[in-house]
Amino acid sequence: MRLARVLLVLALVGAPALAQQATNAFNDPFLQATSAIPNCPTPAGPLYTPDEVRAEAHVRAQHGTSCYRSGRCRLPNSYLYDAEIAPRVVQFLRQDERFANSSVWVIGRQRLVFLLGCAASREQAAEMERSVGLVDDVMGVVNWLSLPGQAPTYTVAPAR
Which residues does 80 contact at the CB level (< 8 Å), separation at least 6? 64
The predicted pLDDT at position 48 comes to: 95
What angle (nearest 5°) sits at the alpha carbon of residue 62, between those of residues 60 and 68? 100
What is the strand order of the sheet 103-109 is part of? 30-35, 103-109, 112-118, 140-146
Candidates 126, 119, 110; CA nearest to 46 is: 110
Query: Phi and psi at residue 108, in whole multiples of 5°?
Result: -110, 130
Structural domain includes residue 3: no
Structural domain includes residue 14: no
Rounded distance, CA 66 to CA 43, Å? Answer: 30
Q: Please count the structural domains in the chain.
A: 1
**61, amino acid identity:** A
pLDDT digits (tens, 9 = 90+) for 104-144: 999 999 999 999 999 999 999 999 999 999 999 999 999 99
Structural domain includes residue 64: yes
| Residue-range definition of the domain harbouring residue 60 | 23-146
> Over 80: is that where the pLDDT of 8 sits?
no
Q: Please, what's the largest Cα pairwise distance for the chain?
A: 66
Q: What percent of the chain has pLDDT over 70?
A: 88
Structural domain includes residue 132: yes
pTM recorded for the entire structure: 0.84
Structural domain includes residue 80: yes
